[in-house]
Amino acid sequence: MSKVASEFQDIDIEKERKEILNAFKGLLRATKDRSREDTRMIRKAFDVAVEAHKDMRRKSGEPYIYHPIAVARICVEEMGLGATAITCALLHDTVEDTHITLEDVEDLFGSKVRLIIDGLTKIPEVFDENASIQAENFRKMILTISDDIRVVLIKLADRLHNMRTLGSMRADKQLKIASETKFLYAPLAHRLGLYSIKSELEDLALMYSEPEVYSKIENSLKSTKDVRNRFIRRFVQPIKEALQFEGYVFDIKARTKSVSSIWRKMNAKGIPFEEVYDIFAVRIIVDTPTELEKPDCWRIYSIITDFYQPSPDRLRDWISTPRANGYESLHTTVMSPTGKWVEVQIRSKRMDEIAEKGLAAHYKYKESKSEESKFDRWITEIRDLLENPDANALDFVNEFKANLFADEIYVFTPKGELRVLPNGATILDFAYDIHTDIGDKCIGAKVNNRLVPLSYQLLNGDQLEIITSSKQKPHDEWLRFVISARAKQKIKSSLNEERKTIAQDGKEILERKFKQHNIRLTAENITFLEKYFSMPSVTELYFRIAKGKIDLIKLRDIDAVHGILNGEKKTNNSTKDKHEKDVYPKINKSEDSIIIGEDFKNIQYQMAKCCNPIPGDLVFGFITISEGIKIHRNNCPNAEHLLSKMNYRCIKARWQSKDLVERVAAIQIMGIDNIGLVNRLTEIISKEHNVNMKSISFETEDGIFDGRIKVLVYDTDHLEQLMRKFEQVDGVQRVTRWDTEEDQHPQESH
Ligand code: MN
């Protein structure tokens, strides 16, 4: 951004020096409540900066020092920051661009100023074009907030001034800086509660990225100004009179939407300017002592709604519960006499200042105890993290983010678009956030170019690309992966639809079978079957029939034994008991047997990770010291050891027949690598009706292909089917159950 002074001829150095001094005096005048100490420090910073930048000029030709002075002034006037921030703003470009070192800064201004300058120097001026690098830098930037919140505030002031003076830059640079401002800095300003800076940044970004759009909207706004003002005057008049009558000291502002927010609305709703331009907010700012803020705001609300009908679902009380970033205000939307909705924001002078200048303004208001403690807690959280010496940089960012943005995380689409999700969200939440169809068809995602399963939890700054398959469908298990209400609700409704459709198929199958066997289709007969197969509901019975989980060939035998289906009354408890004995001949009622799928009180069991048993496998239970009972396959690599050396801790186990839940099974596929093999395999999974992929990894070495897939299946039959299909793929040599290595060696944990 600098050029050597000698390139600019005919400059009146003396005149320039005077102008620079004037600019600095202007800065000092803007800085209220400064001590002599503060003034001395600010003056020293100015002297150092003037000297350091003395040979530098901005692209516009003006002396470079104007830029740090302007940045410092933004910090004072638009953010409400104090002497330390002013000092740092004046020095912000010295270490990066001049001979001044961080050590010099520390010697002259102390360690606090050094820390902030260091943070500022670490944030690159222009980010790389590569979108994922941008995300990476975004993370770095968040990291620097943790050193001192002023780092980010000064950086934003710096960016704002650069945007205001962007006109003298090269066109291609303008575009780049503008787009970066839009997706990195404006959201950041928003997050910190700097709403007016945010909208100015957005407007400036739009002005450079879409100059025609910008000037068109700007002109339209100018030409409709009179109509708008007339409307506002009429709308505000009765409120004004009533408030004056009640003796309030107040200010009413009616602000038109910014150019960029009009443009956003036009785009989002696909509507012309004419339908957007006259949507504006009226703000009533009341000057009142802290203890009267809340009652006064509500009193004013009551006065407004005496004149205009409010929309009941658009009342927002951020006075009782302020937003995380400190924003407080009472919002309502009322109907004007001309039939137009108008948003009215009611707040105190103090609240308005915080809303405009963000968190920094909190410093000024320490009267209110609760406020102070809230802000202090926030600062303390940052301090706590700083004092954690073991944390490496990345953990640190994540931890910090979790505390500061407690409920939100920021991720990017492949195009670099920023999306906000609740903390703990998975790729499924993200997919449903984009579109229901994308959620329903999601089979996985690439996060920062790495393939991850559906359950992957997103981290701040992740960039992700959702992978879909037209054959994918939501699964029960998905409900455990998602945390956003939207995703949950979408999955549930898809599942219900799906279940109903499948149950309908099952019902039709049963009707056909009844016909074949000459069995009457009556409610009694269906209820009999429901009980016979121990089903919790008729829908469940139909569902399982459709899934092939209930063998209807048995119908004939059942009928022959009981004669019930054809109406012969032979109900007899003993035959029923007898039957149950036949179906479960091996029930071992003794204590050392476990039936998997049954809810045992006080007995915890889980599937061993080494062999991932699924229903149909021959299994046994092993009693661990601290993790309850683990179920292993009889042919688990660990089984021999456990059964021979620790057989006193082994118990019999078997599957409960009605247990129809999805379980993890791991498959290894070996073969000759050829083009399209991976594709073919994933295609099989995605086309397979009931198979959900949990994780997948492929490796190729010297042409040998080694694929490891974890899938969710119901039982061994289900798994076998899938494995047979893999075997038929060209190039595949061997398909086996894969015993994961993690638990390979029997430890106490087995
Ligand atoms: Mn700068």
Please state which CATH number belongs to domain 370-484: 3.10.20.30
Region 461-466: mean pLDDT is 82
Task: Give the pLDDT confidence score for residue 331 in this predicted structure.
Answer: 92
pLDDT of residue 251: 94
User: In the predicted model, is pLDDT for residue 470 greater than 90?
Assistant: no
Residue 390 predicted with pLDDT over 60: no
394 alpha carbon – ligand 1 mean position (Å): 27
Choosing from 16, 62, 97, 408, the catalytic residue is 97
744 in Cβ contact with 610 (< 8 Å)? yes
What pLDDT shows up at residue 598?
A: 58
In this predicted structure, the answer to whether residue 747 has a pLDDT above a threshold of 70 is no
User: What's the confidence (pLDDT) of residue 372?
Assistant: 38
User: What is the whole-number distance in angstroms between the Cα of residue 355 and the centre of ligand 1?
Assistant: 25
> CB neighbours (10 Å) of residue 172?
8
CA-based torsion, 243, 244, 245, 246: positive or negative:
positive
Q: Which residue has the tokens 């009931």?
A: 690
Residue 743 above 50 pLDDT? no
- Is 110 a residue whose pLDDT tops 90? yes
Residue 391 pLDDT greater than 70, yes or no: no
- Binning pLDDT at 50, 70 and 90, where does residue 41 land? very high
Nearest to 638 by CA among 663, 670, 613: 613
pLDDT in tens, 546-557: 887 777 766 766
Band of pLDDT at residue 42, cut at 50, 70 and 90: very high
- For 447, other C-beta atoms within 10 Å of its C-beta total 18
The confidence score (pLDDT) of residue 382 equals 38
**Rounded to the nearest whole angstrom, what is the distance from the C-alpha of residue 413 to the centroid of ligand 1?**
29
Does residue 577 have a pLDDT over 60? no
CA of 96 to the centre of ligand 1 (A): 10
pLDDT of residue 559: 62
Q: What mean pLDDT is predicted for residues 296-313?
A: 91
Per mean pLDDT, which range of 120-124, 635-639, 722-726, 742-746 is the poorest?
A: 742-746
DSSP code per residue over 265-319: HHHHHT--GGGTTT-EEEEEEE---GGGHHHHHHHHHHHHHHHSEE-GGG-EETT
> Which pLDDT band, with edges at 50, 70 and 90, does 396 fall under?
very low
Res 123: pLDDT = 65
Enter the CATH code of domain 572-750. Answer: 3.30.70.260
Rounded Cα gap, residues 200 and 206, in angstroms: 10
Per-domain residue ranges of the chain: 3-209, 218-365, 370-484, 493-555, 572-750
CA 64 / ligand 1 centre spacing (Å): 9
Indicate if the pLDDT at residue 570 is higher than 60.
no
Express as a percent the part of the chain with pLDDT over 70. 76
pLDDT above 90 (res 695): no
What percent of the chain is predicted at pLDDT more than 90?
22
Looking at every residue in the chain, the average pLDDT score rounds to 77
97 is catalytic: yes
Which residue do the tokens 């740090």 mark?
68
**Predicted confidence (pLDDT) per residue in 480-524, tens digit:** 888 887 788 888 888 888 888 888 888 888 888 888 777 777 777
Give me the pLDDT at residue 640, please.
80
Q: Where is average pLDDT lowest: 76-80, 222-226, 374-378, 422-426? A: 374-378
Please compute the mean of the pLDDT values over residues 53-79 and round it to a whole number.
Answer: 92
25-39, 268-282, 388-402, 648-662 — which one is most confidently predicted on average? 25-39
Say how many Å lie between the CA of residue 668 and the centre of ligand 1.
56
The answer to whether 96 is a known catalytic residue is yes
* C-alpha of residue 552 to centroid of ligand 1, in Å: 77
- Predicted confidence at residue 736, as pLDDT, reads 86
Q: Give per-residue burial for 90-122: e unless 16+ CB within 10 Å, then b.
A: bbbbbbebbebeeebbbebbeeebbbbbbbbbb
Q: What is the pLDDT of residue 346?
A: 96
Identify the architecture of domain 218-365 in CATH.
2-Layer Sandwich (3.30)
261: burial class by Cβ within 10 Å (0-12, 13-18, 19+)?
Answer: middle
Predicted confidence at residue 68, as pLDDT, reads: 97
pLDDT greater at residue 463 or residue 597: 463
Q: Provide the pLDDT for residue 126.
A: 52
For 3-209, CATH number?
Answer: 1.10.3210.10
Pairing assessment for the beta strands 650-655 and 619-623 based on DSSP bridges: antiparallel
From the candidates 96, 559, 688, 717, which is the catalytic residue?
96
> Which parts of 307-387 are beta strand (E)?
309-310, 316-317, 330-335, 341-348
